[in-house]
Amino acid sequence: MKKIDEYQGKKVLVMGFGISGINAAHLLVKLGANVTANDKATPKNNDIVDDLEADGIKVITGDNPISLANEGFDVVVKNPGIPYDNPLVAAFVKQGTPIITEAELGWQIFDGHLVSVTGSNGKTTTTTLTQLMIAENAKHQVKYAGNIGISFSKIAEDLGPDDTLVTELSSFQLLGAPTIHPHIAIITNIFYNHLDYHKTRENYINAKLNITRNQTKDDFLVINWDRDEWQKIAQRSQATIVPFSRLNKSHEGSYVEDGMIYWRGQEVMPTKDIRLIGPQNVENALAAIAAAKLSGVTNDAIKKVLTTFSGVRHRLQYVMEYQERLFYNDSKSTDIEATEVALQGFDRPVILLAGGLDRGYTFERLVPYFKKHVKAMIVFGECKDKMKDAGNQAGVPVVESENAITAVPEAWKLSEPGDVILLSPANASWDQFPSFEVRGDKFIEAVEELTGKKEQ
């Protein structure tokens, strides 16, 4: 951990009691700040409040009182999910109070080698693969943190100048990270996400580009080269561009040609040996390979990771095989693009479990994928009628169910040996579950109850 004094004696407000907010509050105390912690909700677990107060932190819960804007705070550390049109946040913006996220605080105390990953889809898998690859050859610590569910600042506290940290960063986090400066930045892709928060696509793109804002030609931006738009976005960076591509050959980075992965013209491994399925995971692997090779990782280390890693939970996660049916949990597929690529990963008939809370669109785009890959559909949630319409257009049998749990036995009834039973909702979970993680966990529990087996 790097010693800094910029918070010594400063008055700091931490908004939000998530993992990152709680860790940020305790860290700020160590850095000499006078800390107030505020959450709109009242925590069900009193230990959270007790621990904060025991560290000398003033705690305010149950509201975001606008009066806090008049208490002379020097800095606000905001939970990334709290929008900027929140009345209290908007008041701080109006008066010019600096507003950062915990990712910025983590960067400020980090003293090692930083690799950061952002994008619409594939962030967590790419982050995990990159960390595993670098760790295979490393003589020092290699950790991951960030939007992957582990506090950036908490991990940064325990790392030194020779250590490496691979961070997953969301657009929400990057908006409040003005000085972050990874040596290697990765942009996996950019689709149409979070426009309810960012308001426009250009705002969303700009937030993502904060990952490379402070990079120079001595740093590297690893970016997907498979769309013209992404190639144009790369031109807005001052870093050395390192493309990765599943569709376009580029000797400047990692790419696929005739079923073989190459790094700058040199063979690395066949794509068929990657244990993760689907074209999106080939792209994730290519991104991780580029970052790993820039970090000096050997081909043998890369092969070891890619031939053994079976996936991140809820992201096209293999659950089990039972009576010649394969079960996959892809609950993280909360948009159309993610379900498109999931379906393309299978050469077996798919029983698709899909539905939830849509983002205001219909699902005609999925019709060609349903026709080619899907044997039957189980639909649920607020958008089940829209999903059913798309299934009917594709000529696929559709069964309605209550949710992702009740859909499991319905899917089993329709399945035969050789089929894949896939949860890939193409929608958010919030109509029925608090998060995609809970939805995926409940799906796995339903599979375990059906089969009498534990996930593998």
Q: What are the average pLDDT values for consecutive 10-residue runs of the chain, which has 456 residues? A: 95 95 97 97 88 97 97 97 95 98 98 96 94 95 93 96 97 96 97 78 94 98 96 97 93 95 97 91 97 98 94 88 95 92 92 93 94 98 96 97 97 97 96 96 97 89
| Phi and psi torsions of 362, nearest 5° | -105, 180
Q: Is domain 11-100 annotated with CATH 3.20.20.450?
A: no
The contacts of residue 26 (CB under 8 Å, 6+ apart) are: 51, 52, 55, 57
Q: Alpha carbon of 161 to those of 142, 164, 218, 228: distances in Å? A: 12, 8, 18, 38
> Which secondary structure element, helix H or strand E, spans residue 12, and what is its range?
strand 11-15
Q: What is the pLDDT of residue 162?
A: 97
**Closest to 103 (Cα-Cα) out of 133, 78, 122:** 78
**Closest to 433 (Cα-Cα) out of 334, 360, 350:** 334
Look up the CATH architecture of domain 103-308. Answer: 3-Layer(aba) Sandwich (3.40)
Does 164 count as an annotated binding residue?
no
User: How many DSSP H helices and E strands does the chain contain?
Assistant: 17, 20
| Phi and psi torsions of 423, nearest 5° | -90, 110
Token pair, residue 63, equals: 């509201």
Cα–Cα–Cα angle for 298, 304, 308, nearest 5°? Answer: 155
pTM of the model: 0.82
Q: What is the pLDDT of residue 376?
A: 98
At position 436, the amino acid (one-letter code) is F
- Alpha carbon 214 to its chain centroid, in Å, reads 22
Does 119 count as an annotated binding residue?
yes
Q: What is the pLDDT of residue 193?
A: 67
Q: What is the pLDDT of residue 311?
A: 82
Does 86 count as an annotated binding residue?
no
The CATH number of 317-451, from 2.40.30.20, 3.90.190.20, 3.30.360.10, 3.30.56.10, is 3.90.190.20
Helix then strand then coil, in percent of the chain rounded to 5, is 40, 20, 40
CB 215 within 8 A of CB 221: yes
Q: What is the pLDDT of residue 196?
A: 75
Token pair, residue 309, equals: 């890693």
Separation of first and last alpha carbons in the chain: 38
Beta-bridge partners for 354: 379
State the CB neighbour count (10 A cutoff) for residue 255.
25
CB 188 within 8 A of CB 215: no
Does 122 count as an annotated binding residue?
yes
Does 391 count as an annotated binding residue?
no
What are the boundaries of each domain within the chain?
11-100, 103-308, 317-451
